[in-house]
Structure 1
Amino acid sequence: MPARIQTMPTQLVNQIAAGEVVERPASVLKELLENSLDAGATTIRIDVEQGGIKLIRISDNGCGIHRDDLVLSLSPHATSKIRSIEDLDRVTSLGFRGEALPSIASVSQLKLISRQADDDNGWQLEMRNSQASELQPAAHKPGTTVEVRDLFFNVPARRKFLRTEKTEFSHLEEVVKRIALSHFDVSITLQHNQRVVKQIRPATERTQQEKRIAEICGSAFIEQAVLTDFSHDGMRLWGWIAQPTFSRSQADMQYFYVNGRVVKDRLVAHAVRQAYADVLFHGRHPAYVLFLEVEPATVDVNAHPGKHEVRFRQGRQVHDFLFKAIYKSLAELRPDDSGAHDLSHFTAPQPSTAPAGMTGVQASNAASAFSPAPSYRNQRNLGLAVAEQQHAYQALVEQAATLSTPAEQGEAPTEAAENHAIPPMGFARAQLHGIYILAENAQGLVLVDMHAAHERITYERLKQTYDDKGIQAQPLLVPVTLAVSAR
């Protein structure tokens, strides 16, 4: 006899929902941080133990939860953020489904403490096996604290597939980075195993925002980044895009936000990739921190269980806007472009003396147009300026002349001999987009890729040095300090 249809128990429903919402500790942290931001929190403290498997505790100074709503907040599909279908079409909050807290509570030991500003004390509620305890008064400052212990304690199959503590914590750290870049006015403290790992202060001014970006993405990114801001037809794109000279071997420094929500959308990725197509090598990826602001009714945020993707109602229009805005920003870069960042690697060499406080090595690095990347700028004797070192080419010509036969040397000057005075690569006439050199030789115009030319010159010099006397090394008089990431 076939089985009859019946309603599933509440705990089973929540665990099924948790399979979509809660993938790992990082998923829990993301949902709880979004709730804190929706509550208007400006200060968030995160305490984590054993990569989030043993403990995730988030405390904020948001508006808090009313005493009578604490039990309801842990019920499926209970939320204060939307009320009707019309609200779903115009979602402005990060969370809206009412699935996160009950899903998390179904696979962990959860404690919820909250206090509103007008209350004399806070109230505490615990969930054990999807069963709520009695409300109890608790000492708590205005705001909310959510404590999640023993994640997946009742789902051994899910717990077995969790990675090492280091790996899980790296995913937690990435969530914190993405949230920190989307809300500059929020202070975030991350503590792992009773040790403070990150302490991000609020940033309201542009210089403070760029400092926060440098802390998260590295100082090299912000030094090579350009601030862009475009608006058109109700859409606004603003943020920082890295210049073509700063590219990555993988797409690990791409942060894109739609109305404050971090997304990874194929339409967005394609538009950005097309904008960089003419200025990046194959296999290289751009870096950016961009914010797209559109009318909430024109974007569907309810398109993915984890809310990682969105659907634009006018996808082609958004794609074209993103492409044109980024493409125009890249096209407007000039060798003499002067901004808030150090763009000296784009400037042509100047005969004037270096500014006060700049050493000779720094001045030489700044004047080298063949040193687009930070790693290249430190090689003082390997760079070639835009006004190419003609004596280097002349040496090649003289060497070729010495190898010619006596008969050839005795012949009358021919047109080819006269052309020997012109270096093989010709003389530089212009620089294009800080990437290419336009040169002229006897046969016509030569387009030189500065990246490839610099790599080839460095490679040939290393080969010649190795063949002559090996690679020489010399200790530095003053040590060089390198800033690296935590991983």
Structure 2
Amino acid sequence: MPAIALLPDHLINQIAAGEVVERPASALKEMLENSLDAGADDIQVQLQQGGIQLIRVSDNGGGIPVAELPLALARHATSKIRQLEDLEQVGTLGFRGEGLASIASVSRLSLTSRAVGADHAWKVEAQGGELSQPEPAALSAGTVVEVHDLYYNTPARRKFLKTEATEYGHCEDTFKRMALAWPQVAFTLSHNGRISWRLPRQSSHQRIAAILGEHFLEDGLSVAAENGMLQLSGLVGSPTQSRAGRDAQYFFVNGRFIRDKLVSHALREAYRDVLHHERHPVYALFFQLPPELVDVNVHPQKSEVKFRDSSAVYRLLKSTVQQILAGTVAGSGHPVTEPGFTPMPPVMTASPAPTAGNGWAAAPRYEQARMPLGVAEAVPNYFAALKPLDDLPQAPPALPAATDAPPLGYALAQLQGIYVLAQNEHGLIVVDMHAAHERILYEKLKSALDQHSVVSQPLLIPASFHATSLEMATASQQSEALSRLGFELAPVSPTHLALRAVPVALQQADSIALARDVLKDLAEVGSSDVLTARRNELLATMACHGAVRANRHLTVPEMNALLREMEATERSGQCNHGRPTWFQLTLADLDKLFLRGQ
């Protein structure tokens, strides 16, 4: 084995470059951080060939004195920390003192800067580890860093770079992250001589709209919360704005973009009840806390951090976003207290059945005693609106004016036994009745379980079924958990169980199939502590069994009652699996379909 020897500084820098400068976007990130730390409020970025041939960053920051220019390209030289205490409360983006040195070791770099109060600018160049002497240069203010031919002297590493389009895409992502976190700074990005982005100084919401689109700003949900010294602000997307990938997830800690497992898990859990498992939420969140409460020195690229009190951060993120998502209902992005009506108890008395001679079907369309949906009838005048007119027996009933309709409107009809069609002020509403009813039951079950008030409905005739050994054991061991969920199961033989009571909200479900699924979940959970953690999954299964099925004929009052319950139920825009429960077709959409006005 060769003898141990010290590595030359140039090789040390090239090794460090492998960690710090993974690709052109990594170099761009280091350069942008330096400009922001210098107090710049106008930064211009020019790229050629995706940043492989040229990365040029110019700013109007404070500049670097001529005596410090060589140190700016030296390894482990920085103006941002002096002692260990400084490292424990880093308040700047860059601080490691190796960014520019690492970039200079694998490129042809020039640094031109004019310090505040200096007569003119000065320029130094680095190539192949050799640094030139400072020379006078022309520059009105600030600093310009040019990086040419990245990895020209390490061809093996250059082979790992992707196509020009791919590398530019990574650079653009880095640019957008920086611009999103610093709306008070003007940013410009050009590629191969063409301007791609020109962002003036603007407000945070204006910058979010510019980066993520006006639709995200209009449909997104505002976040503003704090807990002691922890502050959270920004926007989260509604579940309908979810995407197939994580490309629109922006989380910043003290202005620094990070990807953190704790943060990702907290936000994913916050969306669990309303997001399909294959979709990912959209958000732009800004987290502020004292620098001493977060360690930003745990990753060479500073893309990960470590919180001193990670549990407090987790709770704040999860609970805040959960509450915001829970405060929205179908048909409105506002809290459930705002729609302007109060749900009434179910109307259980039957109206007189119309006769066949008055132009209406002889079936008792208005009979509410047969309604097993478990939803409240909220608008008493539905019956009046649908009542046959004596003087016009053949005319269909008139709906209330669309301009006076609630958010989800008034029911028109049922389509193929699956969808409810309704009319509101904006046009046509299409509702997936099973998905909507499933969400309503789910939220009722959660609320009842939280209040320890799940009401059981004794069965007139107990349902007996053959049970496996595991089901028999689970029924015995988890009797208390079953009782809290509204079930009463008792053995009637060594191989049979009798179901004697079910939750009243699910009395119309297939009771035996429901009991088997609950026993299966309890057997997999194994203990009541874990049951508490997984109870929502179990309640979702129960709600799915209890929800109205496809091809179930609904009367118009039943359909209207379902719409009103949706408007008063948290998270009712999505079913328990994250699928949308309703969809709006505006009059403009319909006009386009029929080419009206064209």
Q: TM-score interval w.r.t. the shorter chain?
A: 0.7 to 0.9
**Structure 2 residue identity aligned to 1:302:** N
- Provide closer, same or farther for how the CA distance between residues 354 and 52 of structure 1 changes in structure 2, counting only shifts above 3 A: farther
Match of 1:392 in 2: none
- Provide closer, same or farther for how the CA distance between residues 282 and 123 of structure 1 changes in structure 2, counting only shifts above 3 A: same
- Provide closer, same or farther for how the CA distance between residues 295 and 269 of structure 1 changes in structure 2, counting only shifts above 3 A: same
After TM superposition, give the deviation of residue 215 of structure 1 in Å.
Answer: 2.1
Match of 1:410 in 2: none
Match of 1:193 in 2: 192
C-alpha separation in 1, matches of 2:274 and 2:252: 24
Match of 2:312 in 1: 317
1:224 aligns with one of 214, 219, 227:
219
C-alpha separation in 1, matches of 2:288 and 2:577: 37
Indicate the structure (1 or 2) with the bigger Cα radius of gyration.
2
C-alpha separation in 2, matches of 1:474 and 1:232: 50
Match of 1:123 in 2: 122
Match of 1:74 in 2: 73
C-alpha separation in 1, matches of 2:238 and 2:56: 39
8 Å contact 1:260–1:291 — kept in the other structure?
yes
Q: Deviations 1:434-459 (Å, cap 9, x if unpaired)?
A: 5269xxxxxxxxx998945558x99x
After TM superposition, give the deviation of residue 161 of structure 1 in Å.
Answer: 1.4
2:429 aligns with one of 374, 383, 387:
383
8 Å contact 1:368–1:385 — kept in the other structure?
no
Q: Deviations 1:353-397 (Å, cap 9, x if unpaired)?
A: 669xxxxxxx99996999xxxxxx9xx986336999xxxxxxxxx
8 Å contact 1:436–1:448 — kept in the other structure?
no
Where in structure 2 are the equivalents of 1:443-462 lying within 5 Å? 451=579, 454=582
1:255 aligns with one of 250, 259, 282:
250
After TM superposition, give the deviation of residue 324 of structure 1 in Å.
Answer: 1.2
Where in structure 2 are the equivalents of 1:28-47 lying within 5 Å? 28-47=27-46
After TM superposition, give the deviation of residue 420 of structure 1 in Å.
Answer: 7.3
C-alpha separation in 2, matches of 1:85 and 1:166: 42
Q: What's the secondary structure of 1:40's corresponding residue?
A: coil
Where in structure 2 are the equivalents of 1:163-312 lying within 5 Å? 163-204=162-203, 209-312=204-307
C-alpha separation in 2, matches of 1:231 and 1:284: 28
C-alpha separation in 2, matches of 1:449 and 1:312: 32
Match of 1:430 in 2: 565
Q: What's the secondary structure of 1:18's corresponding residue?
A: helix
C-alpha separation in 1, matches of 2:66 and 2:402: 69
Q: Percent identity?
A: 44
8 Å contact 2:274–2:571 — kept in the other structure?
no
Q: Deviations 1:262-296 (Å, cap 9, x if unpaired)?
A: 00000000100111111112211111100111111
8 Å contact 1:435–1:451 — kept in the other structure?
no
8 Å contact 2:432–2:581 — kept in the other structure?
no
8 Å contact 2:294–2:307 — kept in the other structure?
yes
8 Å contact 1:368–1:383 — kept in the other structure?
no
Q: What's the secondary structure of 1:230's corresponding residue?
A: strand
- Provide closer, same or farther for how the CA distance between residues 245 and 138 of structure 1 changes in structure 2, counting only shifts above 3 A: same
8 Å contact 1:115–1:141 — kept in the other structure?
yes
Structure 1: runs of 5 or more not aligned: 356-362, 371-376, 389-418, 438-446, 459-472, 480-487
Residue 9, structure 1, aligned to residue 144, structure 2 = no
After TM superposition, give the deviation of residue 335 of structure 1 in Å.
Answer: 5.3
Normalising by structure 1, report the TM-score: 0.74
C-alpha separation in 1, matches of 2:578 and 2:46: 48
- 100-109 or 310-319, larger mean C-alpha shift: 310-319
Q: Deviations 1:172-210 (Å, cap 9, x if unpaired)?
A: 110111001100101001011111111011113xxxx32
- Provide closer, same or farther for how the CA distance between residues 27 and 387 of structure 1 changes in structure 2, counting only shifts above 3 A: closer
Q: What's the secondary structure of 2:17's corresponding residue?
A: helix
Structure 2: runs of 5 or more not aligned: 340-377, 380-398, 415-422, 435-551, 586-591
Match of 2:111 in 1: 112
**Structure 2 residue identity aligned to 1:290:** L
Q: What's the secondary structure of 1:236's corresponding residue?
A: strand
**Structure 1 residue identity aligned to 2:111:** L
C-alpha separation in 1, matches of 2:69 and 2:554: 85
**Structure 2 residue identity aligned to 1:228:** V
8 Å contact 1:367–1:385 — kept in the other structure?
no
Q: Deviations 1:219-240 (Å, cap 9, x if unpaired)?
A: 2221210111101121001110
**Structure 1 residue identity aligned to 2:430:** L
